[in-house]
Amino acid sequence: MSTTTRIDNKTDIKIAVVGSGYVGLVAAVCFAEMGHDVICVDNDERKVSALQGGDTLIHENNLPELLERYRNNKIRFMTDLGEATRTCDAIFIAVGTPQSETGDADLSYVEAVACEIARSLTTYKVIVEKSTVPVYTNEWIRRAIERNGVARELFDVVSNPEFLREGTAVSDFLHPDRIVVGANSDRAATVLSAIYAPLTDGEYYTRPDHIAGPCTADAPPPLLLTSTKSAEIIKHASNAFLALKISFINAVSNLCEATDANVEQVARGIGLDSRIGPKFLRPGIGYGGSCFPKDVAAFRSVADQLGIDFNLLTEVEKINTHQKKRFLSKVRSALWTLRGKRIGVLGLAFKGETDDIRDSPAIELVEMLLAEGCTIAAFDPAAMKRTADALPPGPNLRYVEDAYAAADDADALVILTDWQEFGTLDLNKLNTALRYPIVIDGRNLFDPQVMSDHGFTYLSIGRPAAYPVRELTASTSPTP
Ligand code: UGA
């Protein structure tokens, strides 16, 4: 198979994307931005009519602008998967694959979509799995379609995993490090290569209004053609490796705390090694979100089922769980006892610049603090509504309008999400608002020296604690 296989009429390829979640909606909008005609299908009528009306449903940079530009011309939203299948050449499945009780990915939505596609298949189609799925799913989709009476030559199933991060998903899609296409037939590989040609041949980056990012016409992204199984494993292995990097630096941060070393210096020192790289070495309260926890568990479960010893992943998960408990101990160490303490909480989303709270370590910590008997005033720039739906306000939990209101009269302020705007807070105002100027930072947003200069007791992750300059002077000056 050659990566240069092309088809002539690439702009005539019609694409259906099934599922309008983070991956589906972003993929649909970005395919339209690349010049394709797209139908985005969802079986949730409310979602479809909201999208038809211009609602983006998710908080994602560049998405509202692109949706506004292409809605009802290059991209249509509908509930009818049969019609979308009949109209389109390639059908991308981007439905949820939640974690089942055993840790496996629950593939029932993928199966249901495959069967429904099969019922409308009369001419050749490429069916593309874009959801994160375990190895062998491609074969299961093929079997499910065949079982529904579709002839083998009428379709191919391709694996085209996505590496989008929430918050920067549009730019990640249009400026990928790589595009992975797992295909076992030349015909299907040719269709996928044509779909991505505007990116891989650099043409997209010459357009005056293209979304900015690292790729250029001279340095377009590579398209890697692999077998379907390799592509499936690439996705799980990528997420598992990134999670491993985070757990590794979190374990190192604990070592730094025990020795009074500074994890920022250590991370920089190891990250400058080009074989290691500087990214995903930020210590914190553990990884969360809808992907890493689920995907590490699913990858571990795949290994178990295949009889492969991959206990390394169990350790990655253990460190991640432990990191939240360690942070709680840190809060306790600053406040002595927790019952009845008033805590200001900054951040509820699983990471900054998103409103997503799925598997958010911040929310787990809020729950842990509540269980310890604390009273919480919480603020998040985008995730408060979602959090309040899941964790309704009550006598011990309030959602407040800004960071200063969260700090107001609190015994300590804890930072749980790395929102950029938290890093630019007015420290004097924050100090005045707090009852005691104590900040426990689970995301290392501040320079300890600056916090000390502003009169805070400041505890962070893997760095020596900082104390107010005044207090330090008093305790270190010789006794009269
Ligand atoms: C992750 C991957 O980064 C994407 O490549 C992948 O496509 C996506 O999952 C997916 O499978 O759909 P995402 O979940 O949006 O993307 O978030 P990340 O930016 O990767 O962060 C995940 C978690 O790790 C967050 O809780 C974040 O705070 C934490 N993190 C990240 C750290 O604690 N330290 C770091 O250095 C980096």
Q: Are 314 and 356 in the same domain?
A: no
Atom 19 of ligand 1, nearest CA residue: 165
Q: What is the pLDDT along the chain (480 residues), one digit of tens a residue?
A: 433 344 544 557 999 999 999 999 999 999 999 999 999 999 999 999 999 999 988 888 999 999 999 998 999 999 999 999 999 999 999 998 888 888 888 999 999 999 999 999 999 999 999 999 999 999 999 999 999 999 999 999 999 999 999 999 999 999 999 999 999 999 999 999 999 999 999 999 999 999 999 999 999 999 999 999 999 999 999 999 999 999 999 999 999 999 999 999 999 999 999 999 999 999 999 999 999 999 999 999 999 999 999 999 999 999 999 999 999 999 999 999 999 999 999 999 999 998 899 999 999 999 999 999 999 999 999 999 999 999 999 999 999 999 999 999 999 999 999 999 999 999 999 999 999 999 999 999 999 999 999 999 999 999 999 999 865 444 444 333
Q: What total of structural domains would you count in the chain?
A: 3
The pair of three-digit structure tokens given for residue 71, joined into one six-digit string = 């809605």
What local confidence, expressed as pLDDT, does residue 10 receive?
Answer: 54
Q: Which residues pair with 105 in a beta bridge?
A: 99
Of 336, 404, 400, 403, which is closest to residue 372 (Cα–Cα)? 336
Amino acid at 357: I
Of 33, 36, 32, 40, which is closest to residue 10 (Cα–Cα)? 36
For ligand 1, say whether the CB of 163 is within 6 Å of any of its atoms. Answer: yes
Q: Is the Cα dihedral 309, 315, 320, 322 positive or negative?
A: positive
Q: Are 211 and 279 in the same domain?
A: no
Q: Are 94 and 186 in the same domain?
A: yes
Amino acid at 432: T
Q: Are 181 and 82 in the same domain?
A: yes
CA of 419 to the centre of ligand 1 (A): 14
What's the alpha-carbon Rg for the chain, to the nearest Å?
Answer: 25
What local confidence, expressed as pLDDT, does residue 59 receive?
Answer: 83
What local confidence, expressed as pLDDT, does residue 234 receive?
Answer: 98
Of 425, 96, 428, 48, which is closest to residue 291 (Cα–Cα)? 96
**Among 22, 61, 164, residue to substitute to test ligand 1 (most atoms within 8 Å of Cβ):** 164
Whether residue 431 contacts residue 453, with contact meaning beta carbons closer than 8 Å, is answered with: no
Q: Are 49 and 160 in the same domain?
A: yes
pTM of the model: 0.94
Ligand 1 nearest-atom number relative to CA 286: 33
Q: Is the Cα dihedral 23, 320, 314, 254 positive or negative?
A: positive
Of 410, 341, 411, which is closest to residue 372 (Cα–Cα)? 341
Q: Is residue 150 part of a domain?
A: yes
CA of 292 to the centre of ligand 1 (A): 7
Q: Is residue 231 part of a domain?
A: no
Q: Are 79 and 189 in the same domain?
A: yes
Whether residue 406 contacts residue 379, with contact meaning beta carbons closer than 8 Å, is answered with: yes
For ligand 1, say whether the CB of 289 is within 6 Å of any of its atoms. Answer: yes
**Among 248, 291, 445, residue to substitute to test ligand 1 (most atoms within 8 Å of Cβ):** 291
Q: Are 280 and 418 in the same domain?
A: no
CA of 92 to the centre of ligand 1 (A): 23
What local confidence, expressed as pLDDT, does residue 236 receive?
Answer: 96
List pLDDT tens digits, range 71-117. 989 999 999 999 999 999 999 999 988 888 888 889 999 999 999 99
CA of 294 to the centre of ligand 1 (A): 12
SS3 17: strand
Of 237, 156, 195, which is closest to residue 32 (Cα–Cα)? 195
What local confidence, expressed as pLDDT, does residue 101 receive?
Answer: 86
CA of 355 to the centre of ligand 1 (A): 14
Residue that terminates a domain, selected from 288, 319, 350: 319
Q: Is residue 266 part of a domain?
A: yes
CA distance 227 to 180: 10
Q: Are 336 and 301 in the same domain?
A: no
Q: Is residue 122 part of a domain?
A: yes
CA distance 160 to 128: 6
Q: Is residue 341 part of a domain?
A: yes
**C-beta contacts of 3-9 below 8 A and 24+ residues apart:** 3/193, 3/222, 3/223, 3/224, 3/225, 4/193, 5/186, 5/189, 5/190, 5/193, 6/190, 6/193, 6/194, 6/197, 7/190, 7/191, 7/193, 7/194
Catalytic residues: 291
Atom 2 of ligand 1, nearest CA residue: 165
CA of 12 to the centre of ligand 1 (A): 35
Amino acid at 234: I
For ligand 1, say whether the CB of 323 is within 6 Å of any of its atoms. Answer: no
For ligand 1, say whether the CB of 128 is within 6 Å of any of its atoms. Answer: no
List pLDDT tens digits, range 270-299. 999 999 999 999 999 999 999 999 999 999
Q: Are 285 and 139 in the same domain?
A: no
For ligand 1, say whether the CB of 431 is within 6 Å of any of its atoms. Answer: no
Residue that terminates a domain, selected from 285, 319, 353: 319
What range defines the domain where residue 440 resides?
A: 324-476
Q: Are 258 and 373 in the same domain?
A: no
Ligand 1 nearest-atom number relative to CA 350: 26
**Among 235, 239, 241, 294, residue to substitute to test ligand 1 (most atoms within 8 Å of Cβ):** 239
Ligand 1 nearest-atom number relative to CA 289: 14
| 84 CB-near residues (< 8 Å, 6+ apart) | 16, 18, 39, 41, 78, 91
Q: How many CA atoms lie within 13 A of 46 on its CB side?
A: 1
CA of 316 to the centre of ligand 1 (A): 14
CA distance 236 to 323: 23
> Which CATH number characterizes residue 67's domain?
3.40.50.720
Q: Is residue 262 part of a domain?
A: yes
Q: Is residue 233 part of a domain?
A: no
> Which CATH number characterizes residue 259's domain?
1.10.1040.10
Atom 7 of ligand 1, nearest CA residue: 163
Q: How many CA atoms lie within 13 A of 347 on its CB side?
A: 28
Question: How many Å separate Cα 367 from the centre of its chain?
Answer: 22
Amino acid at 319: I
Q: Are 339 and 290 in the same domain?
A: no
CA of 467 to the centre of ligand 1 (A): 32
For ligand 1, say whether the CB of 404 is within 6 Å of any of its atoms. Answer: no
Q: Are 119 and 251 in the same domain?
A: no
For ligand 1, say whether the CB of 347 is within 6 Å of any of its atoms. Answer: no
**Among 59, 166, 244, 276, residue to substitute to test ligand 1 (most atoms within 8 Å of Cβ):** 166
What local confidence, expressed as pLDDT, does residue 444 receive?
Answer: 98
CA distance 48 to 403: 35
Burial class of residue 53 (count of CB atoms within 10 Å of its CB; 0-12, 13-18, 19+): exposed
Q: How many CA atoms lie within 13 A of 81 on its CB side?
A: 23
CA distance 103 to 117: 27
Residue that terminates a domain, selected from 263, 293, 319: 319
For ligand 1, say whether the CB of 168 is within 6 Å of any of its atoms. Answer: no
Ligand 1 nearest-atom number relative to CA 162: 7
Q: Is residue 232 part of a domain?
A: no
